[in-house]
Amino acid sequence: MNKTININLGGFFFHIDENAYQKLKRYLDAIARSLSDDPQGKNEIISDIEARISELLSERITDARQVVNESDIDEIITIMGQPEDYIESEEMYEDNSNYNYNKRTKSNNKKLFRDSEDKFLGGVASGLAHYTNIDTIWVRLFFILTAVTTGFGLLLYIILWVLLPEAKTTAEKLQMEGEDVNIGNIEKKIRNEFEYLSTKLKDGASEITEKISSADYQKLRNQTKSGFQDFLDTLGKILSALFKVFGKFIGVLLVFIAGITLISLLFAMFSISSLEILGFEGDFVHYPPFFYDSIFPNWLLSILLILLIAIPILVLLILGLRILSPNLKRVSTTTSLSLFGVWVVALLFIGFTGVEFATSKAQRAVKVSKKSILFNPEQPLRIGVENDDEINYQHNLRRHDYAVEVYVNDQKMKYSNDVKIDVSKSDTNEAYIEIRKESEGRKRKDALENAEKINYKFKIENNKIVFDAFFLSEFKNLWKDEEVYLTVFIPEGTSVYFENSSKKFLYSIENTEDIYDRNMANHLFKMTSKGFECLDCEDHDDDSNNKREKSDWDKNKDNTNDNNNNNDNDSDVSFLFDSTINDVKAEFIISKKTTKSELEKLIGWFKNKRNIDINIIESNYKNDRIEKILLDIDCNDGFKGELRISNNTLNSIPKGFRRLYDEEDKTLAFKIW
């Protein structure tokens, strides 16, 4: 039967039997005696050793009523080491004045703490760096990048800041660095910290003594008399601190922007070069205009352009890293000169390609050809336009001056709708079509060759000329200004009917009533000595707004937003909304430009012209533009449907419906898209 004693060890309360207490006391006294010759830091060393012993005992005592016995003390002494072990390590330390405490025995029981001695905010990054053996700068960069890009880094840092304990005691600092927590390591850690602190104090004292001895006391007295000077000095220090913080922010910003840009450029470089070299086809890559028709391959120009951008970005990245970590190693002179040389080469290549692109459009040439046409003059000559949807689908046929790339028989080509159609009186009383093709080139000869290679077709059948709504050209001419201008020359007295499909391609057709080209569609005209004369325009209620009179046109523009559902002006509404009503079809089209008042006008137009009821079930507008809408459609002839527009889908393609009146196949007679 042994007595039990209550002790306070390292701030914790323990029940310990008398024999164990005596052994622990003798152990601590022996350690104290071993430190008696060098009292520097003795109390702190003993305190840290007691804290470590208390921690080890707490791990073994699971119940507060449990008593510490001799076996527990023996285990603790085995872990901590005997005072004799400390004496041996002390002798080794005295024999080697350049002893590096980083050579302490490494432990496999490394623990994660926050390092308060090397912290930017809370010491989380430096603690993780100790635990993972990674340089602190990379851990901090990880947190910065993930915080700015996804916000995850900031959340993770805050969580770790809250959960991780701070390494305060010597034992915790040793555990954080992966060192064994024993007498020798504790003493060496504290001794090193004391020596570092003593050195700092001595250096600081020497500096102060030197300043005092060399000070100009008269000048100091004068300075102390100036309160304004003190204010300026304090203000300077504050501004200096603010500039340092601002500099860190600039460094973080440079690292983030440059890092993201470099990663994107690196990915782009490998992707573009791989696709080009391996021969992949498709719309994977869209090159800048000056890449086309260049003597250099596109993959090479892509790499050079990326290097031209990436090298300055890399310089900014290094600058940002040096702002965050001034101790970062400088880039060698050889590397700097090599990068500058590569950048200069890339600049020369891209500059040469840009000049080459500019000269490829220096000259313009025209290739003109004529083709006779035969038709029955007793019947009207019909003019229409059609597209080849297998090459490039066009929902709304119209003329525009930009081009796209298409594939024809597995060959990449240029597709353009820049086609203009004119009809004039023939001076020879013979009917023919003049085909005028225009293109550009470095020299006039090159431009003429490009014009000759433009592929354009039309056909004549059943007293009708059907022009293609497009032309094809070599893909290298994608960014050249090319166009096809068609002029149909007909004898005087010939009647011509312009079909609705041609209205967006008619160009500068002379007529006696100055009707706009687009408004000549769906009308019958007769060629006179003064130009076309409309034969069926009187059938319409009000044709005056079709005239080429500026005042009427301006007046029509001013009334565009007039909420008047009774407006029966076919041409005005057809032009405004691209919708169509004729004997063949009724086509209802709305786009992202359609306003609320314009939609109401369009609905009234379809009701008056074709008895088609369009009811607005649900609607939502933003800045008077359609954002969301549900329309109920009833053609009053058996065809019904719903047109739903949501999530701003008008940005990609116009929406609407079409009712055909001459289709035998009833499945095609009504369609909503």
Average per-residue pLDDT in the chain?
76
Higher pLDDT, 544 or 534: 534
Average pLDDT over every residue of 421-429: 91
| 7-21, 24-38, 170-184, 275-289 — most confident range | 7-21
Rounded-to-integer distance, Cα 447 and Cα 454, Å: 11
Average pLDDT over every residue of 436-455: 90
Name the region of 647 (left: φ>0; alpha: ψ -120 to 50; beta: rest).
left
Q: What is the pLDDT of residues 174-222, one digit of tens each?
A: 777 777 655 556 656 656 655 555 565 555 556 555 655 555 555 555 5
% pLDDT > 90, the chain: 15
Q: Are 187 and 94 in contact (CB under 8 A)?
A: no
Average pLDDT over every residue of 223-249: 64
Instruction: Look at residue 95 and tell me whether its pLDDT is greater than 80.
Output: no
Average pLDDT over every residue of 611-620: 88
In which band, very low, low, confident or very high, does the pLDDT at 555 lie, cut at 50, 70 and 90? very low
Q: What is the pLDDT of residues 474-495, one digit of tens each?
A: 988 887 889 999 999 999 999 9
Q: What is the pLDDT of residues 300-323, one digit of tens each?
A: 777 788 888 888 888 888 888 877
Beta-carbon neighbour count of residue 412 at 10 Å?
Answer: 14
Average pLDDT over every residue of 254-276: 71
In which band, very low, low, confident or very high, does the pLDDT at 451 lie, cut at 50, 70 and 90? very high
Rounded-to-integer distance, Cα 363 and Cα 444, Å: 5
Higher pLDDT, 494 or 23: 494
In which band, very low, low, confident or very high, does the pLDDT at 265 lie, cut at 50, 70 and 90? confident
Amino acid at 316: L
Higher pLDDT, 29 or 380: 380
pLDDT of residue 632: 92
Question: Comparing C-alpha atoms, which of 473, 342, 469, 463 is closest to residue 404?
Answer: 473
Rounded-to-integer distance, Cα 118 and Cα 167, Å: 11
Average pLDDT over every residue of 264-283: 56
Higher pLDDT, 612 or 619: 612
pTM above 0.75, yes or no: no
Angle, CA 245 vertex, CA 241 and CA 247 arms, to 5°: 110
Alpha helices in 478-625 (DSSP H): 550-558, 570-577, 596-610
Rounded-to-integer distance, Cα 344 and Cα 272, Å: 22
DSSP state of 329: P
